[in-house]
Structure formats: C-alpha cells, structure tokens
Amino acid sequence: MMRALIVDDDAGIRWVLARVLKEEGFEVLEAGTLAEAERLQKDGVDLVFLDVFLPDGNGMSALSAGKFHAPVVMLTAETTFDHAAEAYREGAMEYLPKPFDLNEVRALAQRIQPIPKSPKSSQEEQKKDKSSSSSSSMIIGRSEAMQHLFRTLGRVATSDLTVLITGESGTGKELVAQELHRLSLRKNKSFVAINTAAIPSELLEAELFGHEKGAFTGADKNRVGLFEQADGGTLFLDEIGDMPMALQSKMLRVLETGMVQRIGSNQEKRVNVRLLAATHQHLQRKIQNGDFREDLYYRLNVIPVHIPPLRDRRDDIPELAEFLLQQAATELSMTAPILLNDAIGLLQRYDWHGNIRELKNVMRRLAVLTPGASITLPDVALALGHDTAHDERHKLETLDEAVVRCLGTYMNKLGYAEASDMHRNLLAMVEPPLLRLVLEKCDGNQLKASDMLGLNRNTVRKLIRQYDIDPTSFKP
C-alpha cells in the first residue's frame, strides 16, 4: 500500500485530505510540524502534502533543502504567481491553493510522478532573485482560471520555450511576459518589448532587424534592431496579430534559424533570444482569412497562455481591487480608505470591459476622491459614471443575491470546519433574525407569528426559548 504524508498544522485540512487519500487507497500519516514530518517519513512515503507556513519553519525552505524524498504537493493560502513559480522552482510536483478542490486532490493521488529539480547552480541563481521579487505583481487570483494560469507559467518560466499570450486588452499580457522574464535564467539580460500595432508597417522591419547607414532615405547611421538588443534576453512582441504579412515570413526565418539580417546588409548575425508574443485577436480566424501565416502561428504557439477577462473571474475582483487600492495609496503617499462590502459587491457586478487597466484607474480615482475613511457603494458608482451611480442607488438586491453573497462570505470564513456542522451552524445564524423580524411584524403575537412562518405554535415557542428571545419586547 502506498503511503501519503500530510504536513499541516490545521487539523481540519489534515482531516479532509486524509479522508480523500484513504478513499484512493493510501495509508495516511499526519504531522503538524516539520520535525514530526521528518520523523514519520523515515520509513518511507510515496507522496507528501506540505503546507508553507508551519509552527517550526517554512515548508518551501524545507523542500528546497531536500528534507523530503517523495513527490511534494505544496499547500498555500497565497494566490499569486510568485508562490506558484517558487513551488515549481524548488521541485514541487504540484502547487495547490487553499481552499482546494477535492477532485484535484484525487487526481494528484492518481499520478505520482516526481518532477526533476533544476540543476543546483540554476536554483541558487534563482534563489538570489527572490529578495528582489516583485511585490507589486497584479498576477493574483483564487479563481480556477488563474490557478491554471499560475501552474502553466510556473512550469515554463525557467525554460526558453516560446509563449503565445492571448487575452483581451487590459488583462495584463505584458505583465505576464515581464514575470516570465524575471523568473527565467535570462533575468540578468535585457527584456525588450514592442507593440507591433503601434509602429507603421514601413518602419517596423527596421525597428526589429535594424539597418545599415544609407539603406534607405533617412538612414544616416547604423541602427541596432530589437532582436540584437535582446540578444541573451527576452523579446516581447505585443499585438503580433497586427504584423504585416510581408514581415511575417522574415519573422518565421528568424525563429527557424536564429539569424537576423539588418536592412541594407548582406551579413547575417546569430542571436540568442527567447521570444514571447501576445495578441487580443483570434489568430486562427486570421489564418482562415489569409491575414496570418499558419506556419508562424505554430512556431509562436509552443506554449499557449490565455488570460481570462475580469468578468469571467469575478471572485478575484475583491482581492485585486484591495491590492490596487493599497498600491495607489502607497504611490500617492496617503492612507488607503477601507472598501466596504456593498462597494465590493458593485465592483464584482461591473463588467470591466477595460479589464485590469480599467480597474486600476478606478481604484486610483477612489483613493484620491473618496471623501471619508471608507469607500461606499455610492462612491464606487460615482467613480464608474453618473448613470451607473443612479442605477445602483435605486437597484434593490434580490433575496437570492443577498443569500448567495452572505453565504459566500460565511463559507470563506468557515474554511475547513467540519462539513457536517455547516447546516446546523447556518440554521443557528438564520433562525434568530428571522424570528425577530416576524415577531416584530406581528407585534409579538406568537400565534400570528406561527401562521406567518407556517410552523406549529409549540415549535415557535421552543425556538423562542432556544434563542432567548423575549416576545413581549415586540409589543407596541
């Protein structure tokens, strides 16, 4: 029988994981500290679930130091790309954010394949970069789509594979490219970016490949192109879908041979560049229309990465909005106001056609213009536009929306409490305010309250005693 070791100081998490792993045929060992884990694994284990923050140390550091000799799944409440990338960089088999999907745990248990660690020298170089790790990265989110994105980026960050990043305008495609470069082995070399849609087609070739003096009218000196500038580093081509067809064939040749040739020169030069490309367009549709080369598409699309729009990951908006608000306040040397729940609700309902770029601008606006210490729903509505403000002030939240919102908040706070307690806990929270409202409506008359609730009078009396409610306090 295979053995799994769960290392987490939260007994609730250990209980949930142990139940699933036992169903998958594992013998399960549990540890609340690193010291206890080291003792338990002496007899050998086949799979380790390891929390990052433990009472006697950091799980990530223990993994890095080679304390575990089986495939490791890192458990973390952090939901940033940096944490995912670090987990893979230190040799983790998988990165699992809390709260996790139990089906995902089952899938992990069914594929115990260790991922080889990077050479030690590479790891040491990458560890040096941790201290300079960007703390302002907006690549954050708990949604399933973002966690899938983190896993993909974490696995390819240290490779030289070409990545094609797709997503709507404002989703952060260049930010992802910058993070891939920062966590790559090329991080000490240049990161060169160009928006191919912003350069006139007749000048784009000279920008990319450079030119010799006298190559064309106005070429009064030699010019080094972006491919040469990025030699040894990373070249990011934004809006690659707008590149002219004539230039696409030359781009394909560079990808195939690694050689560039300046305009007006008969000499080729070898360059060592990692290429990252991005577009908001549907390239396969452009291929069908004859506007994009299919062979170039397959050269670029080695690792496809899609960034979902904000409206498809609304659960991430509160965390992202709070981050951007704090960032704006820091930049403006001011204290950030507090985002109230109803304001967050409006941010989540808004469609954000400008995505993160639009959200960032709105949060900066709120940081500066909010008159009080708290950001309210009217403040957000005003920041989004006067029409929206009018609509939101007069819009009533349905009971279903209110229940879903409140239950979602409660369940997030509940975390990993025993699942069997949830119904009882929720009833204990819902019944008292319901009884008080009905008794108030009925002026404290228990018979009328029983009729309104559709319950037996004795049942209502029992509930009143259970929740220590004084019905006489509702009499006129």
pLDDT digits (tens, 9 = 90+) for 9-59: 888 788 788 888 888 888 999 999 999 998 888 888 889 999 988 999 998
Please say which residue of 271, 306, 341 terminates a domain.
306
- The answer to whether residues 301 and 166 belong to one domain is yes
- The answer to whether residues 269 and 194 belong to one domain is yes
Q: Can you give the pTM of this predicted structure?
A: 0.61
- The answer to whether residues 387 and 448 belong to one domain is no
* Domain CATH for 227: 3.40.50.300
- The answer to whether residues 56 and 125 belong to one domain is yes
- 3-state SS of 268-320? CEECCCEEEEEECCCHHHHHHCCCCCHHHHHHHCCEEEECCCHHHCHHHHHHH
377 occurs within a structural domain: yes
Distance (Å, rounded) from C-alpha 440 to C-alpha 473? 9
Average pLDDT over residues 286-313: 93
Sequence-ordered list of residues with C-beta below 8 angstroms from that of 157, at least 6 positions apart, any chain: 85, 88, 89, 179, 180, 183, 184
User: What is the domain count for the chain?
Assistant: 4
* Domain CATH for 124: 3.40.50.2300
- The answer to whether residues 175 and 228 belong to one domain is yes
Distance (Å, rounded) from C-alpha 253 to C-alpha 209? 12
Residue bearing tokens 């305009």: 263
pLDDT above 50: residue 142:
yes
**Which bin fits 444, alpha (ψ -120 to 50), beta or left (φ > 0)?**
left
Query: At 279, phi and psi to the nearest 5?
Result: -160, 150
- The answer to whether residues 283 and 351 belong to one domain is no
pLDDT confidence of residue 212: 86
139 occurs within a structural domain: no
**Helix H or strand E encompassing 327:** helix 317-331
Distance (Å, rounded) from C-alpha 34 to C-alpha 74? 14
pLDDT confidence of residue 276: 96
- 368 vs 77, which has greater pLDDT? 368
Q: How many CB atoms lie within 10 A of CB 288?
A: 11
Instruction: Write out the residue range of the structural domain in which residue 448 sits.
Output: 418-474
Q: Collapsing DSSP states into helix, strand and coil, what is residue 339?
A: strand
pLDDT above 60: residue 115:
no
Nearest-CA neighbor of 96 among 45, 48, 46, 166?
A: 48
Averaged pLDDT score across all residues of the chain: 83
- Percent of the chain having pLDDT more than 90? 35
| Cα dihedral 306/309/312/318 (nearest 10) | 120
- The answer to whether residues 86 and 180 belong to one domain is no
270 occurs within a structural domain: yes
Query: At 11, phi and psi to the nearest 5?
Result: -60, -30
- The answer to whether residues 441 and 467 belong to one domain is yes
H helices present in 47-143, as ranges: 59-64, 81-89, 102-109, 120-128
- The answer to whether residues 349 and 450 belong to one domain is no
90 occurs within a structural domain: yes
- The answer to whether residues 320 and 247 belong to one domain is no
Query: At residue 306, what is the residue type?
Result: H
154 occurs within a structural domain: no
pLDDT confidence of residue 420: 56
- The answer to whether residues 327 and 233 belong to one domain is no
Sequence-ordered list of residues with C-beta below 8 angstroms from that of 142, at least 6 positions apart, any chain: 79, 97, 315, 316, 319
147 occurs within a structural domain: no
pLDDT confidence of residue 413: 53
Beta bridge partners of 277: 164, 237
319 occurs within a structural domain: yes
pLDDT above 80: residue 369:
yes
- 366 vs 141, which has greater pLDDT? 366
- The answer to whether residues 370 and 456 belong to one domain is no
Q: For 384-440, how does the pLDDT look when each residue is reduced to its tens digit (9 = 90+)? A: 885 444 454 445 456 666 677 677 666 655 544 445 567 777 788 788 889 988 998
